[in-house]
């Protein structure tokens, strides 16, 4: 049972899960809207919102902290210089999840995750 368990395992090892969230984050920052499964989107929301909160500061240490998680220079620059300043006055809730369809192959719930404009 997963009562009060802190995160979704997504059927992966911890290193695979970390890589998955990193790659989903990079894709979301680059395209600003992606479609993925609902559990992945919900787990990604917690991951990316912590990064945005850190990136809102906009200083050198914010760049370092975000880069430590993303390991991608262009994506880090885009997050810190373009996306995070839009949320300067917002107290959380930077992303939106919209349920879309049932995937035909395995009947899983799909969803869009995007930044709130």
- The whole-number pLDDT of residue 117 equals 79
Domain ranges of the chain: 14-115
Q: pLDDT per residue over 28-55, tens digit each?
A: 999 999 999 999 999 999 999 999 999 9
Q: What is the CA radius of gyration of the chain?
A: 15
Tell how many helices (H) and how many strands (E) occur in the chain. Answer: 4, 3
In degrees rounded to 5, what are phi and psi of residue 25?
-65, -45
Segments of 18-108 assigned E as strands: 33-37, 95-102
Question: pTM to 2 decimals?
Answer: 0.93
Q: How confident is the model at residue 101 (pLDDT cuts 50, 70, 90)?
A: very high
Give the CATH number of domain 14-115.
3.90.1030.10
């Amino acid at each position: 049972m997963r009562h009060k368990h802190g995160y979704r395992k997504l059927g992966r090892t911890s290193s695979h899960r970390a890589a998955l969230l990193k790659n989903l984050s990079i894709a979301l920052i680059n395209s600003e809207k992606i479609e993925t499964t609902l559990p992945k989107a919900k787990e990604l929301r917690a991951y990316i919102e912590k990064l945005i909160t850190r990136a809102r500061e906009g200083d050198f240490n914010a760049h370092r902290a975000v880069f430590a998680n993303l390991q991608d220079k262009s994506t880090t620059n885009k997050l810190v210089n373009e996306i995070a300043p839009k949320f300067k006055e917002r107290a959380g809730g930077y992303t939106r999840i919209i349920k879309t369809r049932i995937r035909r192959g395995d009947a899983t719930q799909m969803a869009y995750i995007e930044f709130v404009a």
